[in-house]
Structure 1
Amino acid sequence: MKPTHKPQVSMGHGFLVGGLGPLAELLTCTRSADAERPVNPTGNRRERIVRTESDELPRLLPPIKLQNHSYQEVPIQYADFSPLRRNEFSGSLSGLTRVRRFHQDDEHILCRPQQIKGEIASMLWFVALVITTFGLGPYRLVLSRKLEMDFIGSLDLLNSAEA
């Protein structure tokens, strides 16, 4: 089922927001601590960012800032394609998951119970769009179910969501 709204994708900032327009300031890279230029397109300067040390080099980590929204605005969709960072000690990096920076996609949907079916259909439509756009087919989508002992929330709510 194609969504009724057009998701807005900003791969450059590593953030996608569907239906409500841009809600976040997000930069995908740390910057050298001696950088004097603005840290994002809105002109916010480095006093708004977090200082951190990496291999004894000062680095600046831009903040993620989301505006407040009401539960009445659901469904709200967030999909994050931004890089994840680890501050590993020098010499301890090996293997794919022990690198300093890698990309991972992650999606969060806030919706009412009666909107779940449509949101899942919309999400699967978007996944199919991305896969076919990049010529990665043929593909097969499989949805997993909860584990019997490892879940959050009430069992009644989970059973209702799976029905």
Structure 2
Amino acid sequence: MRKWLVWLTWIPASAGMTLVAQAAQVRAADGGAMSVPLPGAAAGDAARGRAIVANRQVGLCLLCHTGPIPEERFQGDLAPDLAGAGDRSTAAQLRQRLVDAGSMNPATIMPSYYKTDGLEKVGANFKGKTILTAQQIEDVVAYLQTLRAQPGAAP
């Protein structure tokens, strides 16, 4: 099972491939945080982000996570529930986790959706390509920021 999850890190984004070096520049310019959008990306769109999270051919998020997307069956339980993600994490933290999950938790099985270096056994046609584009990352961050705990519920 673990080998299969690692394979997910090699699925390319569909268009507009960019390098993780741009994300590193954002982090460096932002004092180590990722509170500004990735280079070349506009402000995120939550509706597009929800579609990416729900899409099993693009984001693959529901393979491991459960989320407040009732029309999608067979959601994962390997990772935290996405409900309340906007309460638990800032946009910068969510962006960092999506860009390079291993930088926040070296033992994570979550793929780094915007990383191209430091990967092992990457097929030649996937080298230098990211899973999601910078814009897709921003859209997912925008969606996750909308996921707040219900009033009266513990975050």
Q: Is the TM value for this pair above 0.5? A: no
Question: Which is bigger in relative contact order (C-alpha 8 A, separation at least 6)?
Answer: 2
* Structure (1 or 2) with the larger CA radius of gyration: 1
Alignment TM class, shorter chain as reference: under 0.3
- Larger helix percent: 2
